[in-house]
Copies of this chain bind each other. A is one copy, B any other.
């Protein structure tokens, strides 16, 4: 019941998308027209891949997460306005269940992987134990929070996310559906999920019910530039390869954002952008 945004392209300040547009993620945290809940005030997070410094190897992603409402967090403004990144995630949370704590804030991280989720695993309290036990014992100590999202991430890692992100998500979601149905839950999962290794973003839109949370992708930079004429200077920097995937359009400009279809994974990698059908195994 959250909102999120993923960006890949020429390095920019995350604030350019997280704070500034008409329907920026922070604006959505206070009033989200398409969200299942209108207020997303139960914490937030930003994860970014820093630009390599001199000739150092690609640094691991950094994560800033806080339990304050995003609209109030002055540190969020400082950080997203000062760092540069070619690939970043941002997420505002509307908790389906307490508690509000940093370890329940997205994105989650494993080595150089980031993961964030909008949606829920239905009746999670019922299935939490079975799902948690299915997490690989070597990953178990990494579970630090109480969310369904974190367990979904750990299950995807258990099923090989690092080697085959789409295959692992198909298996993890299939497992969640099997366990859920064993507990008599009709529609066990509802999700829009973003995953990245720093080079590629995989964005999944799926729900057992076939009525998934909204998910959009930006059309292309030329259209974005029309959307934000007042920010033309920034948009020129994006380069032609920039892409934004987001729970809700960042602008009312018709045509700027296209909906990602149901049961689909969108893959963003360099200049490439493609959709593929997504079905759990």
Q: Across the interface, do B146 and A84 meet the contact criterion of CB distance under 8 Å?
A: no
Q: Across the interface, do B95 and A99 meet the contact criterion of CB distance under 8 Å?
A: no
User: Which chain B positions have C-beta within 8 A of A95?
Assistant: 72
Stretch at the interface among A58-66, A165-173, A184-192, A216-224: A58-66
User: Which chain B positions have C-beta within 8 A of A30?
Assistant: 39
- The yes or no answer to A261 lying at the interface (CB within 8 A) is no
Given contacts A41-B41, A141-B128, contact A62 B50 (CB under 8 A): no
User: Which chain B positions have C-beta within 8 A of A22?
Assistant: none
Given contacts A59-B82, A62-B82, contact A103 B146 (CB under 8 A): yes
Stretch at the interface among A73-81, A198-206, A270-278: A73-81
1/0 per residue, CB under 8 A from B, across A26-58: the answer is 000011000000110110000010110110000
- The yes or no answer to A240 lying at the interface (CB within 8 A) is no
Q: Across the interface, do A101 and B98 meet the contact criterion of CB distance under 8 Å?
A: no
CB-nearest residue of chain B to A75: B64
Query: Measured between alpha carbons, how far is A65 from B79 in the docked complex, in Å?
Result: 11
Distance in Å: Cβ of A65 to nearest Cβ of chain B: 7
Query: Measured between alpha carbons, how far is A81 from B133 in the docked complex, in Å?
Result: 33
User: Which chain B positions have C-beta within 8 A of A68?
Assistant: 67-68, 100
1/0 per residue, CB under 8 A from B, across A95-138: the answer is 10011111100000000000000000000010011001100010
Query: Measured between alpha carbons, how far is A100 from B41 in the docked complex, in Å?
Result: 14
Query: Measured between alpha carbons, how far is A87 from B219 in the docked complex, in Å?
Result: 40
- The yes or no answer to A11 lying at the interface (CB within 8 A) is yes
A81 CB contact (under 8 Å) in B38, B62, B99: B62
Query: Measured between alpha carbons, how far is A151 from B231 in the docked complex, in Å?
Result: 37
- Per CB-CB distance, the 9 closest pairs between chain A and chain B, nearest first, are A62-B82, A101-B101, A125-B141, A129-B140, A72-B100, A62-B78, A50-B82, A41-B41, A53-B84
